[in-house]
Amino acid sequence: MSKINTSNREIHAICMGMDLDMGHVVGQNGVTEIVPYEESGEMAMVPWFKVYVGDGVKFRVNAAFVGEVIYE
């Protein structure tokens, strides 16, 4: 099983729950990139997403709140 942060596929959007209106989409509202990564949590690594606006990280989203990942 591969981890989301080791995939080579580019992410186009992440949705909170199953609602695209409640998420982040590359190309909308200044979002330039969405990158998965992991942070150390209580006794395990926790998947997160960095949402870039321009060159900087504007949001960090815990993957537990993401219902859908849409790839390019």
pLDDT by 10s per residue, the chain, length 72: 457 767 788 999 999 876 667 899 999 999 999 999 999 988 888 999 999 999 999 999 999 999 999 998
The predicted structure's pLDDT at residue 1:
41
CB–CB of 14/70 below 8 Å?
yes
The predicted structure's pLDDT at residue 2:
52
Domain boundaries, the chain: 4-71
Model's pTM, two decimal places?
0.86
The predicted structure's pLDDT at residue 53:
98
The predicted structure's pLDDT at residue 58:
97
The full DSSP string for the chain is ---GGG--SPEEEEEETTEEEEEEETTSTTEEEEEEEEEE-SSSEEEEEEEEETTEEEEEEEGGGEEEEEE-
Backbone angles phi, psi at 41, to 5 degrees: -120, -165
The Cβ of residue 41 has, within 10 Å, a number of other Cβ atoms equal to 11
